[in-house]
Structure 1
């Protein structure tokens, strides 16, 4: 089920205004459902209560609500929800304050409460004494605090309102959405008359529109002397988790303590401790409801208060969920936890071994097994690249052959998507021996000192190095240390020289994938896959040897120096020993 919200709103003027001609309802409310293009920005609802002074309250309330709800979906998608609301509300407050200074007599002020339902979270922005409520199960939570004078006789005196000052301080609250949540926005004409219990009862009855009408109708019948307005929104289905939802969860939830075998966490029972590298902990667990095995990944308690590590783990979880929305084939699926009590990620569990483990144990693969495995991995990388994601750490340790016979790419912790944390983007991630030379040596000219960031081609090069080792047991350029230049000053030997049963066409594919010059390599995963599929039927041409100047830009200088030294030595011999 996708994001499904039901909305209703109702507003009635106070008793005196209903009988006096020309008296306007100074409350105003609106709900805006996103179009398909704006779906990622979510639903926005607002209620405002004008401050009656010179008749400007109604204008202030209407313009405030229309400004926020009308312009919210036009804000840049890169803005956080709180940033977008802050800019919109702040701009309108400045306009109202300036309007009041110019007007001279009377003022246009209002209170305002805005609710945004987006992805799997909600955001409330609030100024004044309108209120936002959350009805969840048997609970009715007041999400806002009134900005009024703390005195029984001055409760209607506002300490904050739009138009009161040039700058306005806005309260924000964010939380997780649950299916079945009901949100209610009310003006003081409703919540000063109805108590919390009655408000929750009425908000839960009938449709959302019927509930909003019932709230206003009962408030008026109970003697409300002010305008009465209610907005009701019910959440029937959640959208897939957004990165912002996962980041918020990562900031708010605690990191689990060290889990021992038999420990329970949100319906998962730990069955084994798989890994602990000082940054992350990986557990095998069994889901109590289904008896299925899963993997739990958490931060090490030593990194629990590191916001960057939290953001990186949240980004990895979001990427896993995003891959599952399209086609999780070739990757490990991430499971969403409905109401987690701690910050962790749940993966499907697959028995089996990584390629690193199998090569380390001395397992040999037939040529057809290697080709089938490489095809599965390169197709998975193609899916990843089409989503704009670069893995950045392809190597045998991150390729897993499951007991079901499927190859999967592991560990998206270093991946970049364009929305990763800044520190992750700056991280020189990867394993040196599997990183393309230009990441160390700079651009096409080489040795220019400007490192080139990893891209889709970097993943294909790393897969080429992996394939070379898969076939021959060796690395094409040997073990490479960070910023080592000499390793790339020779062309790698064809794998068939190290393993005679490797066909010549596969030699050409592998050597093209690990070529020193990036212009000679595969440009896309689809091109790489096509070369493996065609095999001997349409073999690639033999790669040409890399020119000495390309492999070692200083070679000409070295040759010139050697010739110069030789000439000078001959000249010295001629001058000293040969007759004149």
Structure 2
């Protein structure tokens, strides 16, 4: 059975077969879902197989439920999630449901229990998920490589039991493996009714020589039966005929379909909008205030800058901004505007936030109270959580990218640097190692060319909180210039109380930890940082318990210099004294 997906640069050939064998009921179940278009790019193609335990009269229901729920629910998860996160959560949910059905069953061997394995092909990677003793194989140079380990405990040659199965307990441990793939690779999924009775060498020979994979699947099942298999038998064979290139065209926006909008000259009409005035201009884009001529709604329109209109990567990321905004639901993140008309050019429409940037607010409020700072920081953190729940990182959090509206609601804006984990699986070259944030607020790991994490966004938030309280950056300009791990280890944190004595020492401890050069030394989560900002943490001590070298490095070295000068004078006096 050929699924030709050449338009999306992925093509697979699938062969599969399942029979009850010598049993009256087939308790195995299998399924395949190969979507098209944007869904294929963002979620991939999925294959799943389950084998209900033979001692249970309802095991066939468990197997069917596991496969169907996986194929249905996986494609309902956020397309910003990685395959691992999305699939693991779906499998865990199926396990919880099956286990709940077993709550009134005294004999677990007669409950809703099943093995399960799944294969997801996305981009140029294969993702394997496994619970139980069904197997996933890969054909490599004519031989089969087993990608899964059986979760079966052998008590004797005649007696064994499953150590793991869906439905067996309230939680389930799922084996996960990711492998790089190439065109021509073949994957095989089997239940024990097949692989217990067909040697890997014979299985590999049947698959490698087959032109018709459906026929190969039937032949392998027939071979297992002739070799004495008394169990249900199921096999799936997936051959990869073509893969997307690493620089695959994105299916996330309209960068490839639309030309960048011409730079408007306000006041003017533009694609159903009346552009009133310019709001902001940078090297990357121009932002305008506009009114929708049909609805009368005020919106902010963003168009690419003239200098980057020939930069395909920039246009691709520009088109992603609105795609990202439509997947974030938070009052603390800018919202996309409705676009009821067919676009003629590439631009972005978002809500218009009437207010001021945090940068302007800081200029207007040079000495805010600690409680005011806490309130702003907590709202920004809520916005960041909305990104993190979708496996996104903002990567460019700075005062210019935070707005405060007239009601005091804080919103994160400018999504042009957001990293989407699920998208990078499909389009690994999207960022091409480029540092997208602003160096003064970027976490040190970005400066070193490393990938970020949620703690990287925390670093940026910590810098902003520090700056609101002191008017300065915690490392001055040192961190921006530190381009090596050794240089970063030498930067000196300036204690906030040394700049503003109103800042409590324990608050300074929270800030110091949030902006530590090493991500592992920062708070584990945004919630921990917020708690440290509100409640004294004994680990940060009091002013007197913090060494002077950490509390005020400048004062420490001044004291050291004075002491050394006194020692030098004393030694000089001893040398000059007559003997």
TM-score (norm 1): 0.50
Q: What pairs up with 1:106-185 in 2 under 5 angstroms?
A: none
Residue 263 of structure 1 corresponds to which residue in structure 2? Answer: 268
* Aligned partner (choices 16, 37, 50) of residue 73 of structure 2: 37
Cα distance, 1:367 vs structure 2: 1.9
Residue 367 of structure 1 corresponds to which residue in structure 2? Answer: 370
1:437 paired with 2:436, answer no
Cα distance, 1:344 vs structure 2: 1.1
Inter-partner Cα distance in structure 1 for 2:420 and 2:488 = 32
- Say which SS state the counterpart of residue 464 (structure 1) adopts: helix
Verify the 8 A CA contact 2:261 2:303 in the aligned structure 1. Answer: yes
Q: Residues 379 and 425 (structure 1 numbering): CA distance in 2 closer, same or farther, change over 3 Å?
A: farther
Deviations 1:367-390 (A, max 9, x none): 211111011112221221222111
Cα distance, 1:406 vs structure 2: 0.5
Verify the 8 A CA contact 1:250 1:343 in the aligned structure 2. Answer: yes
1:380 paired with 2:383, answer yes
Deviations 1:88-146 (A, max 9, x none): 9xx9xxx9xx979xxxxxxxxxxxxxxxxxxxxxxxxxxxxxxxxxxxxxxxxxxxxxx
Verify the 8 A CA contact 1:354 1:399 in the aligned structure 2. Answer: yes
* Aligned partner (choices 337, 340, 351) of residue 339 of structure 2: 337
Q: Residues 473 and 432 (structure 1 numbering): CA distance in 2 closer, same or farther, change over 3 Å?
A: same
Inter-partner Cα distance in structure 2 for 1:320 and 1:370 = 26
Deviations 1:202-229 (A, max 9, x none): xxxxxxxxxxxxxxxxxxxxxxxxxxxx
Verify the 8 A CA contact 2:470 2:496 in the aligned structure 1. Answer: no
Inter-partner Cα distance in structure 1 for 2:405 and 2:319 = 25
Cα distance, 1:437 vs structure 2: 3.5
Residue 535 of structure 1 corresponds to which residue in structure 2? Answer: 535
Cα distance, 1:251 vs structure 2: 0.5
Residue 116 of structure 1 corresponds to which residue in structure 2? Answer: none
- Say which SS state the counterpart of residue 408 (structure 1) adopts: strand
Q: Which runs of 5+ in 1 are unaligned?
A: 1-30, 42-72, 81-85, 101-167, 170-242, 441-449, 553-569, 575-580
Deviations 1:30-54 (A, max 9, x none): x98975235369xxxxxxxxxxxxx
Inter-partner Cα distance in structure 2 for 1:298 and 1:361 = 29
Cα distance, 1:288 vs structure 2: 1.7
Cα distance, 1:254 vs structure 2: 1.6
1:283 paired with 2:328, answer no
Residue 472 of structure 1 corresponds to which residue in structure 2? Answer: 470
1:397 paired with 2:400, answer yes
Cα distance, 1:79 vs structure 2: 6.6
Residue 321 of structure 1 corresponds to which residue in structure 2? Answer: 326
1:457 paired with 2:455, answer yes
Residue 252 of structure 1 corresponds to which residue in structure 2? Answer: 257
Inter-partner Cα distance in structure 2 for 1:409 and 1:270 = 23
Q: Residues 465 and 540 (structure 1 numbering): CA distance in 2 closer, same or farther, change over 3 Å?
A: same
Q: Residues 335 and 436 (structure 1 numbering): CA distance in 2 closer, same or farther, change over 3 Å?
A: same
Q: Residues 271 and 382 (structure 1 numbering): CA distance in 2 closer, same or farther, change over 3 Å?
A: same
Inter-partner Cα distance in structure 2 for 1:520 and 1:277 = 35
Verify the 8 A CA contact 2:395 2:418 in the aligned structure 1. Answer: yes
Q: Residues 278 and 432 (structure 1 numbering): CA distance in 2 closer, same or farther, change over 3 Å?
A: closer
- Say which SS state the counterpart of residue 257 (structure 1) adopts: coil
Residue 162 of structure 2 corresponds to which residue in structure 1? Answer: none
Residue 513 of structure 1 corresponds to which residue in structure 2? Answer: 514
Q: Which runs of 5+ in 2 are unaligned?
A: 1-31, 36-70, 78-117, 126-181, 188-206, 213-240, 243-248, 554-570
Deviations 1:513-535 (A, max 9, x none): 22345443211112112323x42
Residue 433 of structure 2 corresponds to which residue in structure 1? Answer: 426
TM-score (norm 2): 0.50
- Say which SS state the counterpart of residue 411 (structure 2) adopts: strand
Deviations 1:377-419 (A, max 9, x none): 1222122122211111222222211112101112221121122
Inter-partner Cα distance in structure 1 for 2:339 and 2:438 = 32
Inter-partner Cα distance in structure 1 for 2:211 and 2:503 = 81
Inter-partner Cα distance in structure 1 for 2:313 and 2:306 = 14
Deviations 1:481-506 (A, max 9, x none): 433637943332233x3223333432
Inter-partner Cα distance in structure 2 for 1:293 and 1:403 = 15
Inter-partner Cα distance in structure 1 for 2:383 and 2:281 = 27
Residue 356 of structure 2 corresponds to which residue in structure 1? Answer: 353
Verify the 8 A CA contact 1:331 1:409 in the aligned structure 2. Answer: yes
Cα distance, 1:287 vs structure 2: 1.3
Verify the 8 A CA contact 1:477 1:487 in the aligned structure 2. Answer: no
Structure having greater relative contact order (Cα 8 Å, sep ≥ 6): 2
Cα distance, 1:291 vs structure 2: 1.4
Inter-partner Cα distance in structure 1 for 2:308 and 2:538 = 50
Verify the 8 A CA contact 1:256 1:301 in the aligned structure 2. Answer: no
Inter-partner Cα distance in structure 2 for 1:311 and 1:502 = 44
- Say which SS state the counterpart of residue 256 (structure 2) adopts: helix
Verify the 8 A CA contact 2:495 2:508 in the aligned structure 1. Answer: no
Cα distance, 1:361 vs structure 2: 4.3
Residue 483 of structure 1 corresponds to which residue in structure 2? Answer: 482
1:407 paired with 2:431, answer no
Q: Residues 470 and 539 (structure 1 numbering): CA distance in 2 closer, same or farther, change over 3 Å?
A: farther
Q: Residues 425 and 332 (structure 1 numbering): CA distance in 2 closer, same or farther, change over 3 Å?
A: farther
Deviations 1:277-314 (A, max 9, x none): 23311111111222121111111234223211111112
Q: Residues 517 and 545 (structure 1 numbering): CA distance in 2 closer, same or farther, change over 3 Å?
A: farther
Computing the radius of gyration from Cα coordinates, the structure with the larger value is: 1
Q: What pairs up with 1:59-70 in 2 under 5 angstroms?
A: none
Inter-partner Cα distance in structure 1 for 2:488 and 2:532 = 30
Q: Residues 99 and 516 (structure 1 numbering): CA distance in 2 closer, same or farther, change over 3 Å?
A: closer
Inter-partner Cα distance in structure 2 for 1:395 and 1:499 = 21
Q: Residues 539 and 399 (structure 1 numbering): CA distance in 2 closer, same or farther, change over 3 Å?
A: farther
* Aligned partner (choices 296, 301, 306) of residue 306 of structure 2: 301
Inter-partner Cα distance in structure 2 for 1:546 and 1:437 = 25
Verify the 8 A CA contact 2:509 2:540 in the aligned structure 1. Answer: yes
Verify the 8 A CA contact 1:280 1:300 in the aligned structure 2. Answer: yes
